[in-house]
Chain A
């Protein structure tokens, strides 16, 4: 039995958790989420390099909430999104236990201070391909950037996998689903797609924890996480607030400072 399975079994046996949300073996060599509710089933749990999906996305689901107190297997990115969910009062820190896993070890985190310490010790890692795209975008002119995003977004058929994979897209009614008034064109045409992704990026500003879940969920292979990441980086650069590091952080775009930059205002 792996260290993860042992720890999960102890949590279930002691009643500290009633369900362990983790990764299990799926089909075609892929992993899938598993919800382990008995000690006998802990053998289903696996953790390796294939486990990149952010499982904290399940914490906001009412059917998962009904399973009782949860323990969650979390990558460093998932730990950050859990911190952000706590800061946004979506998760009660007392209601969830974290089995933080990285390549080397499994760490049990039970309180906000431990989560914050873990997040501080595991800084954001940007995959090399995302770094390469970011660097080439920085060298482009506005027209070239327009053409780049037009080409990338032309592959989007609005399956909303990016939204479903995102732990912080927890609104029960999304702006893109509204039709009175209809803010975002529903069709997956050039305009509707651009508006949807711009809206998502604006709604993730100061909240995206850069876990990379949306990019890996995209069936069209669009580096879609870059938009939300860029919005969050803009907030970090301008207002000094990085998402997913503090459980008591104020919401970046619902707060302000008297000396925020206004050089662009006439």
Chain B
């Protein structure tokens, strides 16, 4: 018996309860098969998704991050996704400034009716992260320890 070890990326998805979580539910009830590499975390709103959660996920060995919520003007709380969008712009800029690979952190708007889009977003993310290989930048910091 031979065992072939292939790299399977671990993706953590932070999604909002009202749109993307319901959208991902629709993907399942529509019997659309998609990559099983994603671990979905449900949040009340994208406005609740703190960038520290992203940092913690990377720290704990995630190879890719997917953040998704309601389209603009669709937020259950009216403006949560608008606030999140601003924060993401700055967060992405700072990650880039400190030299992290932005291709590992993806953002999407997926509504409760877009089950097919969710499958596509996950599949695309998994494919791209698989090409990038395992995330090392962040775990490298762990390894370095005290300077």
Contacts and interface: CB of A to CB of B under 8 A. Distances in A.
Interface stretch (B2-10, B11-19, B30-38, B87-95): B87-95
Contact of B147 (A149, A155, A252): A155
Contacts of A239: 86
Given A148-B99, A190-B144, A191-B141, A266 B107 contact: yes
A253 B87 contact: yes
Contact of A145 (B55, B98, B106, B121): B98
A125 B79 CA distance: 36
A191 B146 contact: no
A132 to B, nearest CB: 16
A146 B100 contact: yes
A256 B98 CA distance: 25
Given A155-B147, A198-B55, A230 B93 contact: yes
Interface residues of B, number: 41
Given A254-B83, A265-B109, A230 B97 contact: yes
Interface stretch (A63-71, A80-88, A136-144): A136-144
A82 B145 CA distance: 39
A266 B147 contact: no
A204 to B, nearest CB: 10
A191 B59 contact: yes
Given A190-B144, A266-B109, A142 B99 contact: yes
A187 B72 CA distance: 40
B92 A264 contact: yes
Contacts of B94: 198, 201-202, 205, 227, 230-231, 234
A188 B146 contact: yes
Given A143-B99, A254-B83, A195 B55 contact: yes
A194 interface: yes
Contacts of B98: 145-146, 149, 194, 198, 227
B74 interface: no
A260 B97 contact: no
Contacts of B83: 253-254, 256
A258 B72 contact: yes
A230 B89 CA distance: 13
B146 A199 contact: no
9 contacts: A142-B100, A146-B99, A188-B147, A189-B147, A230-B94, A234-B89, A235-B90, A256-B85, A258-B82
Interface of B: 51-52, 55-56, 59, 72-73, 79, 82-83, 85-101, 106-109, 121, 124, 137-138, 141-142, 144-147
